Amino acid sequence: MAGKIQIPEELKHDLPQTKWGKVLAVTPIVMTVIATMLAGLASSEMTKAQYDRSLAAQLQSKAGDQWSYYQAKKLRSAVAHNTMDLLAATVEIPALAPASLTGADAVTLAAFTKNELPPATPATFDAPVKAALDAVESSQPEPEITAMLVKIEPAVLAQSLIAAKEAALAFDNATKPINKTSDKLDEVLMAGDKGVFRSFSAARLRYTAARYETEARLNQSIAGIYELQVRQNNFTAERHHRRSGKFFFGMLAAQMAVIISTFSMAARKKSFLWSIAAAAGAAAVSFSVYVYLYI
């Protein structure tokens, strides 16, 4: 258990033995404790700001990956479309007969004969998240986007990201059987009738173009959520940085109070050690101000 603060007897004679006098006597100690606490808070806020900046950089990298997937799949969709158009302009392509797709299930038949893909259900986002996504997509000013993100909890964005990834994964799982069947049919039909193979190739190109277009939209949704998280973490980092600065100035004020009170006691008691301590504190504060203003 910590002992009680002992005030020297000679100092008691200089201070009024009242409640206010006792407060004055312990002022240096209290202000030192407060300064230490404020310094710790300033350091803590700066650490949080650095963490949020680092997390924002990681999220930006993940967003970049999703945008790369989006661009690659849009490009593949365009290439498939162009190849299909070139094929249609070069030769006559008869309609693909379902009977020629031996061993194909109903889903595969619908994809190649009717150009019907498995349903791709986009993730459903809360209204504030949807509004923020629309603001980013339409290149609204950053202050407006930030004002929207302030109202969104990080957990809500995290859940939105999970929903967007699950939607993309669900469509990917739904198309995997079609892709496997398509590869098998390609090997079988290539060795058969050229007209049937030509019809199958055109149908496969249509399916591939539509599949990549859908996957690109799903990746775009994931990238958009990542972008919101990047902006939110950058905003949080700036807030922690401002708070760190405020706490630092508060710590300087508390240190100034310690120095002034120490000078007061030193002048009253003519204590050489207290004078040195006060001078060291004043020098530290002066040096900090110099660094802040000129370096």
pLDDT of residue 293: 72
pLDDT of residue 2: 44
C-alpha span between 227 and 285 (Å, rounded): 42
Which residue shows structure tokens 């055109």? 202
C-alpha span between 127 and 130 (Å, rounded): 5
In whole angstroms, what separates CA 120 from the centre of its chain? 26
Which of 213, 183, 210 lies closest to 117 in space, CA to CA?
Answer: 210
Rounded to two decimals, what is the model's pTM? 0.77
C-alpha span between 248 and 195 (Å, rounded): 79
Entry field: residues in the chain: 295
Q: Where are the domains of the chain?
A: 53-241
Which of 225, 224, 272, 278 lies closest to 255 in space, CA to CA?
Answer: 278
pLDDT of residue 164: 95
Its sign, for the CA torsion 23, 26, 31, 37, is negative
Over the stretch 216-274, which tens digit does the pLDDT of each residue have?
999 999 999 999 999 999 999 999 998 888 888 888 787 777 777 776 666 666 566 56
* CB environment 202-228: b (16+ within 10 A), e (fewer): bbbbbbbbbbbbbbbbbbbbbbbbbbb
C-alpha span between 273 and 268 (Å, rounded): 13
C-alpha span between 57 and 63 (Å, rounded): 10
pLDDT of residue 1: 42
> Which stretches in the chain have pLDDT values below 50?
1-3, 5
193 torsion bin: left (phi>0), alpha (psi -120 to 50), beta (else):
beta
Distances (CA, A) of 212 to 118, 206, 226: 13, 10, 21
C-alpha span between 112 and 108 (Å, rounded): 6
pLDDT of residue 13: 52
* Contacts of 1 by beta carbon, 8 Å cutoff, 6+ apart: none
CB atoms within 10 A of CB 288: 14
Which residue shows structure tokens 């760190």? 244
Pair 275, 266: CB distance under 8 Å: yes
* CB environment 232-270: b (16+ within 10 A), e (fewer): bbbbbbeebbebbeebbebbbebbebbbebbbebbeeee
Over the stretch 150-173, which tens digit does the pLDDT of each residue have?
999 999 999 999 999 999 999 999
HEC sequence for 57-82? HHHHHHHHHHHHHHHHHHHHHHHHHH
- Going by the DSSP 8-state scheme, the letter that residue 17 receives in this structure is S
pLDDT of residue 192: 82
